[in-house]
Amino acid sequence: MPEGQSYRSSRQKSFAPLFWGPTMLLAIGAISCVGSVTRSNVPGGAGGTSLGTTTGTTNGVPNASTGGGLKTGSTSPAGNGGATVAVGGDTGAGGATSLPVGPLGGGTASSCVKRAIGPSLLRRLTHTEYDNSVADLLGDKTTPSLQFPRDVDEGIFDNTATAQSVPELLASGYVDAAATLAGAIPNLATLVGCDFTTANGATCVGTFVSKFGRRAFRRPLTTDEATRLTAIFNSSPMDKQLGVRAVITAILTSPHFLFRPEFGSAASPTIDGAMTLAPFEMAARLSSLLWASVPDDVLLDEAQAGRLTTPDQVATQARRMLAMPRANTAIAAFYDQWFGMSMLDAATKNPAVYQFDDTLRTSMEEETRRFVANVIWTDDGRLSTLLSAPYTFVNAPLAALYGVKGPADATTYTQVMLDPTQRAGMLTHGSMLAAFAGPDQSSPAKRGKWVRTRLLCNDLPDPPNDVPPLPDLQPGVSNRARFEMHTSVMQCSGCHGFIDGLGFGLEAYDGIGRVRTLDNGVPVDNSGQVTNTIDINGPYTGGPQLAALLARSTQVRDCAATQWMRYAMARREGPDDVCSLEAIHQTFAASGGNLKDLMVSLTQTDAFLNYRKAD
């Protein structure tokens, strides 16, 4: 049995309504029909993914392949070279009582002595990329990834390459989704672009395979791949619609669609051990970063013509892509993850304490997304505005929560100015304050950790095993007092000394983000202290003052650029990334903290423009 068909028999029934018979079997085994890719850095663990072998590329197109395709349930070595790099942003290695300051932890950058880049790891499509890709390829906006097991977050992002295995449940989901998507196409002739039911149907489908496959694989198909896919169509002479749907299923289950393999083009003349990216590999990187999807024909045509080989050519395409609406969804995915919006999805509140329902939860999420989009695409696009803007967007539930005038219903949102003594920027949004709180209380520790790890890029040690619980709630004892008692315990003082001072200043907001003056009958003390930063240490009072400090901080500005670099490269930075980090920090500073310019600047770094095989 060819590799890649090991789970064929267990999946036949799920295909039965659509692909029964020889064509169905070809579709299920299609991964091996369309080639395979090398993976020298397979994200490890039982139930991971192994791929066959491809050697050599021409302009980013494999030119010799052997072996099979996607195989589930296998055990693979942990990502050679990549797995040893620390990944994340919320936790560190543990045990430390001081915080890293520098290019790898936020703060002052070291000098770039010798140009180098970290490893380029094999990337699987995130669920967002999968949904966007099938929407762009097929026009299907049903978000099929909702049926997949959740992407694994390692750190704060869901695209960390070393965490992107393909367990059997996900592989089954890919097969089922491909069959469902192919079967749901309402007008195959429109998608194919010619009449495939005539005697010349194979020629028609061959043209479709080349065009559709180029977008799905993010490069031209090899002759062998095109021949094998056309053969799938020819295997169903009595039902040519079935044949076309089987071809589409084969493409959507191919590792060349589900992964973004890279091999590099030629040795870099300036960076030891690195290779320049092939033009089609660059097209794939750009579309992943800026659209979270497949490239369009314009980008692929530029690659075909060899016009994605210089920094200027790459920057030109990056600006074109950012000006298109599809960039909005991709960029929003980064900010959702950086700010921890998934924590709001998981937040539970005690109904005896807070009136918090799904309508309010959804309203909070929508507020922050509208706010972020407005800052980036409509306002001045600056990080400082994101952190300290005096306005937001509210519907009726949020207007009541914030005590401002707003729409009379939950579906209409309007921009409103906020009381500058109470709120400023997304730090004081209900989404953040509710997500990083407890079921019946605020949480200075959770909120402080959010600032420390996500905005200051400081890692925290893991808590010791013998941490005592918080003191119980008592009449006349504020939440702050409970945390202060907790912090006084020796086992707790190390971590809490880094985070509580950042969270205490947000104690004027309860567990769902309402402003309060009393906590458990005690006047709220929202004085805080910033420590262990390079430029904003000192006392402050309240959310707006903390927001102002963060908005002017060099460390926060560098951290924002670092978080984007981590997201773009799908891994944590390492020592070889110092030059790229220094470059992105400098260009972001020179732009005044412009977030749109930052995305273009990312594409100009050595790390983005080049490839290095994992050791």
Residue 556 confidence (pLDDT) above 90:
yes
Residue 606 confidence (pLDDT) above 50:
yes
Contacts (Cβ under 8 Å, ≥6 apart) of 572: 85, 86, 87, 88, 89, 155, 160, 566
When pLDDT is cut at 50, 70 and 90, the band that residue 9 belongs to is very low
Alpha helices in 347-464 (DSSP H): 358-373, 383-388, 396-402, 430-435, 444-450
When pLDDT is cut at 50, 70 and 90, the band that residue 133 belongs to is very high
- List the end-to-end C-alpha distance of the chain, in Å, as a whole number: 32
pLDDT in the model for residue 570 = 96
Strand partners, 50: 71
pLDDT in the model for residue 338 = 97
Least confident range from 109-113, 182-186, 485-489: namely 485-489
What's the rounded mean pLDDT across residues 120-146?
97
Instruction: Return the H-helix or E-strand segment holding 204.
Output: helix 201-217
Average pLDDT over the chain, rounded to an integer: 84
Tens digits of per-residue pLDDT, 275-314? 999 999 999 999 999 999 999 999 999 999 999 999 999 9
pLDDT in the model for residue 469 = 72
* Cα dihedral 279→285→289→295 (10° resolution): 60
In this predicted model, which residue has the larger pLDDT, 154 or 228?
Answer: 228
Residue-wise DSSP of 550-602? HHT-HHHHHHHHHHHHHHHHTS---GGGHHHHHHHHHHHHHTTSBHHHHHHHH
Residue 73 confidence (pLDDT) above 90:
no
When pLDDT is cut at 50, 70 and 90, the band that residue 93 belongs to is very low
When pLDDT is cut at 50, 70 and 90, the band that residue 97 belongs to is very low
| CA atoms in the 13 A half-sphere facing the CB of 611 | 23
pLDDT in the model for residue 473 = 79
Tens digits of per-residue pLDDT, 447-498? 999 999 999 999 988 777 777 777 777 888 888 888 777 676 665 666 778 8
pLDDT in the model for residue 96 = 34
Contacts (Cβ under 8 Å, ≥6 apart) of 553: 456, 533, 535, 536
pTM for the whole thing? 0.84
pLDDT in the model for residue 503 = 94
Alpha helices in 478-531 (DSSP H): 479-487, 490-504
Distance between CA atoms of 511 and 518, rounded to whole angstroms? 13
Contacts (Cβ under 8 Å, ≥6 apart) of 489: 468
